[in-house]
């Protein structure tokens, strides 16, 4: 890797900047800004774990509740070597606006542990998860803060959190966490929900730009729960996925990749790299492909001022959280790229998390068609709500989504008033 002097944007600074833009556009009063801008609660915890070799390693974990104005805090838990307190604060902030954009009765929260889960055994992961869950236990609960999966956390990890919480309480509490395995109160369709939401909102954008789905070209950065399944959905709908990537590299085929086969290949080999018949390209080449839709589905800061100039896609669908920096936003905007912002594009995940929590609390479960139909309705409505602000107020899609989200939280805040 050549040493490039890449300036990493601080995600929390980005979140604050985007809040200010929305608050200014809404002409929000200072009193309300003071009440809704910053996280309500932050907790940093030490997570000592006995590793398989007998050594004890101490990890650092976080849980941030950005807002409980519209309902309990809601948001995932991330396991990644680059997790920082500021990143978790940014992700928690985005959850608040995201839940408001799709109008589900939640605030926003997020958690994370700075660790490399890929180098840990199942036993180490379980012990770390259970210790972390007990450390954040005073904060979480189905009525106050409900974690879920995020980058490198799985339904199994959610099951351990549910079990740890339930053991402490002395009775089973399914609704403390979402994204659980189906056998433990999980919802059908939750696993595919983020990708489905991305698909529905992108389809909306394509209709707007009059790009037919059949034969449309797509590139996907990141082949995890969001990117991999999104690629599959576009493939099934008749689009051509020309390229996809994971942490090990990128693959490309000008005829379009056979996505179900790529999925199987990754399951067996652990990566998309080396998929027979595809050529390998560099990450910057993937972002610069001439495609209708570019889906950044990995981490923050994927598209920056350094590479935004090379983007040729007509639509950018932010399946990841925060993949485009504010400077890149301005550049893409100038070029006329239609961007579907993260808090709209990837809100399908938390929407079906909400369905899961509702099903758990009611002890009554829905079939998959019901889940998908309800999700589609919410995503289509939310896309149209944001699109309307974009067209009426002549602001870009990110600002439109932030105005909708921040505006709804501001309304709740005004009506509740200030305690005491
Ligand atoms: N981690 C996902 C997100 O960023 C899902 C959160 C949830 O389901 O609570 O939206």
| DSSP code, position 314 | S
Among 197, 186, 180, 140, smallest CA distance to 359 is for: 186
> Dihedral through CA 310, CA 312, CA 317, CA 318, nearest 10?
0
Q: What pLDDT score does 79 carry?
A: 98
Compute the distance between CA of residue 328 and CA of residue 326 in angstroms, rounded to an integer.
5
The mean per-residue pLDDT over the stretch 38-58 comes to 98
CB neighbour class for 369 (10 Å; exposed up to 12, middle 13-18, buried from 19): exposed
pLDDT at 151 over 50: yes
Q: Is the CB of 96 under 6 A from ligand 1?
A: no
210 is an active site residue? no
Compute the distance between CA of residue 10 and CA of residue 86 in angstroms, rounded to an integer.
7
Compute the distance between CA of residue 59 and CA of residue 102 in angstroms, rounded to an integer.
34
* H or E element, residue 413: helix 397-416
Q: Is the CB of 346 under 6 A from ligand 1?
A: yes
* H or E element, residue 241: strand 240-246
> Dihedral through CA 169, CA 170, CA 174, CA 180, nearest 10?
90
Query: Which atom from ligand 1 is nearest to the alpha carbon of 98?
Result: 10
**Which residues in the chain are classed under CATH 3.40.50.10860?**
40-177
CATH class of residue range 40-177 = alpha beta
pTM of the predicted structure, to 2 decimals: 0.97
Compute the distance between CA of residue 157 and CA of residue 177 in angstroms, rounded to an integer.
10
Query: Which atom from ligand 1 is nearest to the alpha carbon of 94?
Result: 4
Per-residue 3-state assignment (H helix, E strand, C coil) for 320-374: CCCCECHHHHHHHHHHCCEEECHHHHCCHHHHHHHHHHHHHHHCCCCCHHHHHHH
Among 186, 22, 199, smallest CA distance to 96 is for: 22
| Residue in 150, 346, 356 to alter for ligand 1 test, most ligand atoms within 8 A of Cβ | 150
Domain 193-345 has CATH 3.90.105.10: no
Q: What is the DSSP string of 103-137?
A: T-S--EEEEEEES-GGGS-HHHHHHHHHHHHHHST
Tokens found for residue 18:
């985007």
Q: What is the pLDDT of residues 352-370, one digit of tens each?
A: 999 999 999 999 999 999 9
| CA distances to 13, 66, 123, 225 from 75, in Å | 19, 10, 25, 16
Q: Is the CB of 93 under 6 A from ligand 1?
A: no
Q: Which position has the token pair 């974009």?
A: 390
Compute the distance between CA of residue 123 and CA of residue 297 in angstroms, rounded to an integer.
29
Query: Which atom from ligand 1 is nearest to the alpha carbon of 147?
Result: 9
Q: What is the pLDDT of residues 82-117, one digit of tens each?
A: 999 999 999 999 999 999 999 999 999 999 999 999
Compute the distance between CA of residue 25 and CA of residue 165 in angstroms, rounded to an integer.
42
Q: What pLDDT score does 1 carry?
A: 36
Distance between Cα 145 and ligand 1 center (Å)? 12
Among 301, 74, 346, smallest CA distance to 197 is for: 346
Measured by CA distance, the residue closest to atom 10 of ligand 1 is 350
Q: What pLDDT score does 5 carry?
A: 43
Q: What pLDDT score does 9 carry?
A: 83
Distance between Cα 150 and ligand 1 center (Å)? 6
| Residue 7 confidence class, pLDDT cut points 50, 70, 90 | low
The mean per-residue pLDDT over the stretch 66-82 comes to 98
**Which comes out higher in pLDDT, residue 55 or 3?**
55
Catalytic choice (89, 98, 110, 240) = 110
**Which residues in the chain are classed under CATH 3.40.50.720?**
193-345
The answer to whether the beta carbons of residues 225 and 191 sit under 8 Å apart is yes
């Amino acid at each position: 890797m050549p040493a490039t002097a890449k300036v990493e944007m601080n995600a929390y600074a980005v979140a604050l900047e985007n809040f200010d833009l929305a608050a200014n556009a809404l002409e929000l009063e200072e009193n309300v800004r003071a009440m809704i801008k910053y996280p309500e609660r932050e907790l940093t915890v030490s997570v000592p774990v006995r590793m398989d070799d007998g050594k004890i390693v101490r990890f650092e974990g976080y849980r941030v509740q950005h807002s409980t104005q519209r309902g309990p805090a809601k948001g995932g838990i991330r396991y990644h070597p680059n997790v920082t307190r500021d990143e978790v604060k940014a992700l928690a902030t985005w959850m608040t606006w995201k839940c408001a954009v799709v109008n589900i009765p939640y605030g926003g929260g997020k958690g994370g542990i700075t660790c490399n889960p890929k180098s840990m055994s199942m036993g180490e992961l379980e012990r770390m998860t259970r210790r972390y869950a007990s450390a954040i236990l005073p904060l979480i609960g189905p009525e106050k803060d409900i974690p879920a999966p995020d980058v490198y956390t799985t339904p199994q990890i959610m099951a351990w959190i549910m079990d740890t919480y339930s053991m402490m309480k002395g009775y089973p509490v399914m609704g403390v966490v979402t994204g659980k395995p189906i056998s433990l109160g999980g919802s059908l369709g939750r696993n595919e929900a983020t990708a489905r939401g991305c698909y529905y909102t992108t389809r909306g954008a394509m209709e707007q730009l009059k790009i037919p789905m059949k034969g449309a070209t797509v590139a996907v950065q990141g082949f995890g729960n969001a990117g991999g399944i999104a690629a599959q959905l576009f493939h099934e709908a008749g689009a051509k996925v020309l390229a996809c990537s994971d942490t090990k590299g990128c693959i490309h085929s000008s005829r379009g990749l056979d996505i179900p086969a790529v999925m199987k290949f990754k399951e067996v080999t652990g990566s998309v790299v080396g998929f027979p018949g595809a050529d390998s390209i560099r990450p910057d080449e993937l972002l610069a492909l001439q495609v209708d839709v570019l889906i950044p589905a990995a981490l923050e800061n994927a598209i920056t001022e350094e590479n935004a100039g090379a983007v040729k896609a007509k639509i950018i669908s932010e399946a990841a959280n925060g993949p485009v920096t504010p400077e890149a936003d301005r550049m893409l905007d100038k070029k006329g790229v239609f961007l579907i912002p993260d808090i709209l594009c990837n809100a399908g995940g938390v929407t079906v998390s909400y369905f899961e929590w509702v099903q758990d609390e009611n002890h009554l479960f829905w079939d998959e068609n019901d889940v998908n139909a309800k999700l589609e309705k919410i995503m289509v409505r939310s896309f149209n709500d944001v699109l309307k602000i974009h067209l009426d107020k002549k602001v870009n899609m990110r600002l439109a989504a932030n105005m909708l989200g921040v505006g709804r939280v501001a309304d709740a805040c005004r009506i509740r008033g200030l305690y005491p």
